[in-house]
Structure 1
Amino acid sequence: MISRNSLFGSVILFLLLAAGCAPKAPAPAPATPEPPVQPAPPAPQVPTFAPVGEGAAHDLAESLSFKPQNLCSWTDLRPGIEASLHYIRSRPQNAVCVDQPGLRLTWGQLRESVAELASTLALLDHAPSLLAERFTWYKLEPGTLLTGYYEPWLKASLTPDATYKYPLYGVPADLKVVDLGSFHPRWAGQKLVYRVEGDKVEPYFDRAAIDGLGALEGAGDEIAWAADPVDVFFLQVQGSGRLDLPDGSYKHILYGGKNGRQYVSIGKVLIDKGYIPKEEMSMQRIRRFLNEHPGVAEDVLFRNPSYVFFRLADEGPFGSINSILTPRVSVAVDRSMIPLGSVVALKTALMDYDTGQADPFFSLVLAQDTGGAIQGTRMDLFCGAGEEAETLAGHLQEGADVYMLLSKRVIASMKGDSR
């Protein structure tokens, strides 16, 4: 973006005296106007959890529907909620799982609240108002940006040939990871990914080195080969997928690790270089551009140095709580904002695949995954597998309202503890 700066200069007037006469003094130059004072930009709003009133909570509860999630009953959520409870129980129960303005909660309190909701599922089809009678709704303010992700399918083989020649790598044997927090508290939670070359510690190979220069060739780290390099890139963006094998069978291919390099959005690269207008941006538009312009596709892909490594499995895809993700139910969150394992109500709109129109979506979803780009209030909805899921995820950028449901009984005990 090019900014314009106003240049203000001074005009110096020289009075020239001619021999035998004095010229008339010129009129003073008009004063240069002061630039208008620009108001200071508003301070970014700090995310806050605000309790919703009883009447509004009843209206919200009555508006919930499981139909946009392709479920037959609220009881269909039980396997996912049980998986969430298993994760919550594995955490230190007295430790704080969320500490944000308006809400401070321990893992034990979250466990009790989610367990009570699970015990209520069988009644909700006919009595949704129970979610307002037994739970307090905390609205996350401001609202969130909702995006989507999916499980891509790609043509692949477990052995290379003339068709399947683009490698998918497992975690390389020479990739090393160190927890920096073990060296100093200031680095708590940070990891360094590196390799050793001679007596030097070096950053791990980037995308250009791996795919362009063959940095991993001959090391034996390949686990499969794909037919399309663009498919490989989108698999890395999504983090997991399914391999459609030549014999008609398939394998899940799951996230194994990363090279530690910073992720760069090629969508932004394509916009900045003028290849795709911002208003046309979507995953489908990116894929079409890369397929139609192979001469520049490699350069564009190499602008993202981040690289993902995989592992093969018979089941998947798995989220961050190590449970299988459920389409239109599982969401990726920033765990510092919404604890993993939480049950939240999500109000937004999703594109109908057949009509292309946006349909209302107000359902209970489960915080079961995370993502490097999912920070603050932003959420990522797992859309499923296949073409319909890819289309939905590729176009999903909607504003959304998020409500965390907490048991009133738990809240009452929290108040008792505070006294």
Structure 2
Amino acid sequence: MSLTLTGSVMAEPTYQQLSFDDLNGWAGDDHQSALVVFQNTCRDIPGIEWEVLCDFLATDPNPRDFFEKFFVPILIEDGTPMVFTGYFEPELPGSRRRGNDYQYPIYAVPDDLTPGEPYFTRRQIDEDRPLAGRDLELAWLTDPVDLFFLQVQGSGRIKLPDGSVMRVGYGGKNGRNYSSVGMALVDRGVFEPHQVSAAVIRNWVRENRDEGRALLWENESYVFFREVSEVPAERGPLGAMNRSITPGRSIAVDPAFVTLGAPVWIEKEGAVPMNRLMIAQDTGSAIKGAQRADIFIGTGDAAGREAGTIKDAGRMIVLMPTTIAHRLIATHR
């Protein structure tokens, strides 16, 4: 999803049970908004405990009471500090056909790609063009940097020449590790960590064409897409659960620590603090660790500018169904 500048060794996770009184700002949140988003993916969470909760939603419960009655707040830590970032759905000019300024392809998933196994690197795909002529091009963009950041975000809208909009979502990736191009610029001494953002990286790559191209190749991870134009324009893009995500209520997490679809309480610090109940409905290559989350901001340039300003500390607490939480805490005493 978003860019990350941190890379530390994670310790064995610890689990601490909290109360709802321990959650800063819990009483003042809009629990109904969170409940609506939770309902969107509740039925997609495996396990009898989740099934029972989803059935209870049919009784139209009081939102705050629902979360407080059926969930337990659990703080999961792995020795690394909390990092919140933001991501968005880009809206880019493009065409279904190559021509004029439209020269940079958005590829569908190749039929010879095996999930989890290494495939061609970003550099090989760009330079050697092993995918050309295989009818994999979903659309063509005008800017290779736009294509790179579309892959970082994982979804986007393509504004076609006739005024219509094509939507693309994550289809798969090449089995190569994600690495931060922002961190690469910091390591070279080009920028200080606090200076790096998507806009800064974008401008640097465009101003340093050959070096910029080589910089993007340092991130060998390459994302393939699928067309998802059936998703209504007024709804958010599809997340990792194949459901539309919601600005300001959906976050991307590391599913090794957080069950996809689970409610998650966040306490984000920074220039614009945020204490809010979110739903973990997405993932991302850069989102690794128990205290790591990417907040979905929305669609378009304004959302992109806001997302690019988020790089904040805080803490994240997972709300687990009571039986699962008690079993987990008992196991890790």
- Does structure 2 retain, via aligned residues, the 8 Å contact 1:113–1:410? no
Give the structure-1-normalised TM-score.
0.67
1:176 paired to 2:113:
yes
Cross-structure match for 2:200 = 285
Listed one character per residue, the Cα deviations across residues 259-318 of structure 1 (whole Å, up to 9, x for unaligned) are 222222211222222333322111111011112222321121222222111111212521
Residues 120, 347 of structure 1: CA spacing in aligned structure 2 closer, same or farther, 3 A cutoff?
farther
Change (3 A) 1:133 1:215: closer
Pick the aligned partner of 2:76 from 115, 123, 140. Answer: 140
Q: What corresponds to 1:380 in structure 2?
A: 294
| 1:171-250 superposed matches below 5 A | 171-173=109-111, 175-177=112-114, 191-193=116-118, 204-250=119-165
Which residue matches 1:389? 303
Tell me which residue corresponds to 2:5.
Answer: none
The answer (yes or no) to whether the contact 1:114–1:342 under 8 Å persists in 2 is no
* Counterpart residue number, 1:360: 273
Letter in 1 for 2:117: L
Question: Cα distance 1:214–1:407, how it changes in 2: closer, same or farther (>3 A)?
Answer: closer
Matched, 1:405 2:319: yes
**Aligned residue number for residue 3 of structure 1:** none
CA RMSD, 1 decimal: 3.0
What SS does the aligned partner of 2:33 have?
A: helix
Where relative contact order (Cα < 8 A, 6+ residues apart) is larger, the structure is 2
User: Is the CA contact (8 Å cut-off) linking 2:109 and 2:172 kept in structure 1?
Assistant: yes
CA contact (8 A) 1:333 1:371 kept: yes
SS at match of 1:177: coil
Any residues of structure 2 matched to 1:193-342 within 5 Å, and which? 193=118, 204-314=119-229, 315=231, 317-342=237-262
1:51 maps to what in 2?
A: 17
Verify the 8 A CA contact 2:43 2:51 in the aligned structure 1: no
Q: Residue type matched to 1:169 in 2? A: Y
| Alpha-carbon contact 2:20-2:26 (below 8 Å) kept | no
Residue 77 of structure 1: how far off its partner (Å): 3.5
Structure 1 residues 346-397: Cα deviation after superposition (integer angstroms, max 9, x where no partner)? 11146xxxxxxx2221111111112222222111211211122212322222
Offset, 1:113: 4.7
Corresponding position of 1:165: 103
CA contact (8 A) 2:39 2:54 kept: no
1:65 aligns with 2:23: no
Provide closer, same or farther for how the CA distance between residues 45 and 260 of structure 1 changes in structure 2, counting only shifts above 3 A.
Answer: closer
Q: What is the distance in 1 between the residues matched to 2:309 and 2:273?
A: 15
For residues 62-112 of structure 1, what are the alpha-carbon distances to aligned partners after superposition, in whole Å with 9 as ceiling and x for unaligned? Answer: 2x423xxxxxxx433444222321111xx2x3xxxxxxxxxxxxxx22444
Aligned equivalents of 2:199 and 2:255: distance in 1?
A: 29
Aligned counterpart in structure 1 of residue 37 of structure 2, from 73, 80, 89: 80
In structure 1, what is the Cα distance between the partners aligned to 2:328 and 2:195? 49
Q: Distance in 1 between matches of 2:12 and 2:199?
A: 34
**Number of residue pairs the alignment of both structures matches:** 314
Letter in structure 2 aligned against 1:109: E
User: Match for 1:368: what amino acid?
Assistant: Q
Structure 2 segments unaligned to the other structure (5+ residues): 1-8
**C-alpha separation between the residues in 2 aligned to 1:302 and 1:65?**
43
SS at match of 1:176: coil
Change in Cα spacing, 1:205 to 1:328, as seen in structure 2 (3 Å) is same
Query: CA 1:132 to 1:60, structure 2 compared with 1: closer, same or farther past 3 Å?
Result: farther
1:308 & 1:230 partners in 2: Cα distance? 14
Match for 1:151 among 86, 89, 96? 89
User: Does the C-alpha gap of structure 1 residues 76 and 122 become closer, same or farther in structure 2, counting only changes over 3 Å?
Assistant: farther
Unaligned runs of 5+ in 1: 1-42, 67-73, 94-107, 179-190, 194-203, 351-357
Q: What is the identity, as a one-letter code, of the residue corresponding to 1:263?
A: Y
Partner of 1:181: none
In 1, the alpha carbon distance for the partners of 2:305 and 2:60 equals 31
Question: How many Å separate the matches in 2 of 1:274 and 1:54?
Answer: 44
The worse-fitting range, judged by mean Cα deviation, of 286-295 and 141-150 is 141-150
**Whole-angstrom CA distance in 1 between matches of 2:214 and 2:323:** 57
Aligned residues with identical type, % of pairs: 34
* Contact preservation (8 Å) 2:44, 2:241: yes
The aligned counterpart of 2:263 is: 343
Following TM superposition, by how much is the alpha carbon of 1:242 offset from its aligned partner in structure 2, in angstroms?
A: 0.7
Larger-Rg structure: 1
Contact 2:53-2:70 within 8 A present in 1 as well? no
Query: SS state of the match for residue 318, structure 1?
Result: coil
C-alpha displacement at 1:219, in angstroms? Answer: 2.4
Note the alpha carbon deviations across 1:5-58, whole angstroms, 9 max, x for none. Answer: xxxxxxxxxxxxxxxxxxxxxxxxxxxxxxxxxxxxxx965432322247546x
The 5 A counterparts of 1:58-137 are 60-62=25-27, 64-66=28-30, 74-88=31-45, 91=46, 93=47, 108-113=48-53, 118=57, 123-124=62-63, 128=64, 131-132=67-68, 135-137=71-73
CA contact (8 A) 1:330 1:365 kept: yes
Change (3 A) 1:110 1:134: closer
